[in-house]
Chain A
């Protein structure tokens, strides 16, 4: 069965340090890939998406993600985090043979140390 794994439940990073959040998927073909961010008690906001082409995609708020087909991964990165980046981050996969359904990872909660 298709699945999305975010191995880290929590990650703590100092303000100004770099960040990498991991996302791995299980699917036979290249899926559509998304990263969303959720602030406490709010809905989700799209950070970036990958469909095809350049495997390094740029998103909002200074985030980027790299698709690595050989590793079935789509890791999210940011060179220098800000306290306002504290939130929960979700990776999601859209399958070509599924009309409307996304498969979601369980999320990674980002904690920023001052």
Chain B
């Protein structure tokens, strides 16, 4: 079955530590996205990538970094510069160009601070 796999499901971060969230898709989609979800705030875009080796900042990119070395993979690193990282992180992908293509989502990673 095609889909998006996010791992781990739960992740704990210590102060001053960088952590990386994995996102892999086998849908052959060109575009991939990272969102942050906080209660009562909907989804906020962190980064998105239209093609391999290219990505753009979303609305809340500060304290996060990404890479897109392979079409299937779009890992997100939450750096120590992100002072309030506790949230639910969702990865998504879509085919083609533009917002007309619906986004497909993974099951998310919940990040907490130790």
Which residues of A are at the interface with B, using a C-beta cutoff of 8 A?
4, 9, 32, 34, 36, 41-46, 49, 51, 90, 92, 94-95, 98-102, 104-107
Contact present for A32 and B99 (CB under 8 Å): yes
- Bound together, the chains give a CA A41 to CA B107 distance in angstroms of 7
A-B contact pairs, 8 of them (CB 8 A): A43-B106, A43-B108, A44-B103, A90-B43, A100-B48, A100-B98, A101-B48, A107-B42
Contact present for B4 and A9 (CB under 8 Å): no
Q: Which B residues lie within 8 Å of A32 (CB)?
A: 99-100
Which residues of B are at the interface with A, using a C-beta cutoff of 8 A?
4, 6, 31, 33, 40-45, 48, 50, 56, 58, 90, 92, 94, 97-100, 102-108, 110
**Which residue from A41, A43, A45, A101 sits with its C-beta under 8 Å from B99?**
A101
Contact present for B33 and A100 (CB under 8 Å): yes
Contact present for A95 and B99 (CB under 8 Å): yes
Contact present for B40 and A106 (CB under 8 Å): yes
Contact present for B90 and A43 (CB under 8 Å): yes
- Bound together, the chains give a CA A100 to CA B40 distance in angstroms of 23
Contact present for B99 and A9 (CB under 8 Å): no
Closest to B108 in A: A43
- Bound together, the chains give a CA A40 to CA B102 distance in angstroms of 21
Q: Which A residues lie within 8 Å of B45 (CB)?
A: 101-102
Contact present for A106 and B4 (CB under 8 Å): no
